[in-house]
Copies of this chain bind each other. A is one copy, B any other.
Amino acid sequence: MAIPVEQFFLDPGHQGTLQRQLQEIVASGILAGRFHQGDRMPSSRGLARHLGISRITVTLAYTELVANDYLSSRGRSGYFVSDSAPRPPVFPPSTRSESRVDWSRALGQRIPEAAALNRPEDWRRYRYPFIYGQTDARLFDHQNWRKCALQALGARDFQALTEDSYGRDDPQLVDQIIRHILPRRGIVADPSEVLVTLGAQNALWMLAQILLTQRRTAVMEFPCYPALREILQQSRCNTADIAVDEHGLPPDAVPPETDVLFVTPSHHCPTSATMPMARRRALLDRAEEHDFLIVEDDYEFELAFASTPSPALKSLDRAGRVAYIGSFAKSLFPGLRLGYVVAPEPLIREMRMLRSLVVRHVPGHIQRVAAYFLAQGHYDAQVHKMARAYRDRRAVAEAAIAANGLEIAGAPNFGGSSLWMRAPEGVRAADLAERLRQRQVLIEPAGPFFGEGRDPGTHYRLAYSSIGVPDIPEGIRRIAEEGEALRRGTA
């Protein structure tokens, strides 16, 4: 690569000659690994003009650097970092002085650390990855996504691609959400009631910021999505949680002092329980009675293959008490960071102002690509393909689980992408996961769902979204084998 002149600065405080200073800049750049062997130096004319010094000074510095083997001259082509230039040390000494700031004091707010996911970064290298929430290249319609991306990169969409849109969302995406997606959840919404977010997590975070203060009380499910617990912890509100049963959250247990309830009614995260219609109505009645708001996280609803999902809680919400969160993380892919909130207009207006402050808006191109993917029907095809594949994987997994005597603690009756499992009696799920890693199997111990100090150690999540049918039986056989070995060891 050609080293641009902009990388050169003169230091007015430098003690030596200009030539000496230039030589030091080049040498230290090479030793620090910033200039690589074969990189072309700026022309002597260009560098001299840039620095406002005489050209002969540059030439003399270059000549000296050639003599010292830092540079080599290739005649008219100019000067290059020489192939025999000193290599930067593998562990270069830090040229920076130590920070003299007392960071333990300087940081005004400490952010709660995310619960360790215990998932290796290189999970794709494992043969049996029963991990949740990542994208399977075999199922994603890469080709049509690419086509839509290209279309959105066209001249006609230049504005949507490039503009600082301040508070506004892409009207085409909002239209698709309203016409294409929400009706499947029984939800009718006006554009003023929809906000595009950087994924469901961003939506949960914004709602917590706006609805909660240190004097308010948020109630969540137990166990619960770990990121929600961290978000509530950061907002410093009072919190309480309610144990779910096989029908999800029991409405009677919601305390009267609740200000905001966070709930996953369509299938509880992580146990997969679905709240029956009667409970949903009872929950809305209780919200009305005790004047609290409900945040409904409707994750993964698209992946219904086992039975028709019931409509969202939001669709029954006559009083405007429910903020509904949807996401494209599971139906498209999580790296997209795209989701949305449907809520009464006063709340959406406030969220829009908060979003403007924090990130301005969701990148324009991303919104437009998703809008095209939806409008052209690829989204429907994609979701159908995924649902079919998950149904097959689920059937194979359930058969293998039965054959190997493993215990399912909860299975989403509408479909979904994971099973909630109980480890064998006396076996800690974390230990099981640890041993399985050595055997190319990844499972997710459920500690983070219970929270610090409250993990019974008994459960794990078994997702089939990133593992194909052929590998499932052997993966499950290994889980059973290691579980049995651990059980015997502890017995």
Contacts and interface: CB of A to CB of B under 8 A. Distances in A.
A212 interface: yes
A216 to B, nearest CB: 6
Interface of A: 1, 4, 6-7, 9, 12, 29, 32, 34, 50-52, 95-101, 103, 106-114, 117, 121, 124, 133-135, 137, 140, 142, 145-146, 149-150, 153, 155, 158-168, 179, 183-184, 186, 188, 198-199, 201-202, 205, 209-213, 216, 227, 230-231, 234, 259, 277, 288, 291, 293, 308, 310-311, 315, 318-321, 329, 333-337, 344, 346-347, 350, 353-354, 356-366, 377, 380
Given A103-B344, A111-B353, A357-B230, A50 B308 contact: yes
B34 A111 contact: no
Contacts of A98: 320
Nearest to A234: B357
Given A50-B308, A140-B162, A363-B363, 15 more contacts: A4-B184, A7-B183, A7-B184, A98-B320, A101-B293, A103-B344, A106-B211, A107-B350, A108-B212, A109-B210, A111-B357, A134-B163, A149-B153, A161-B335, A202-B360
Copies of the chain in the assembly: 2
Nearest to A178: B34
Contacts of A113: 353
A140 to B, nearest CB: 7
Given A6-B184, A12-B277, A365-B335, A293 B205 contact: no
Contacts of A186: 9
B9 A114 contact: no
**Residue among A100, A231, A346, A365 with the highest chain B CB neighbour number at 10 A:** A365
A134 B162 CA distance: 8
A293 B346 contact: no
Contacts of A360: 198-199, 201-202, 334, 337
Nearest to A215: B108
A153 B146 contact: yes
7 contacts: A107-B346, A109-B213, A135-B162, A199-B360, A205-B358, A205-B359, A363-B363
A164 B111 contact: no
A361 B344 CA distance: 28
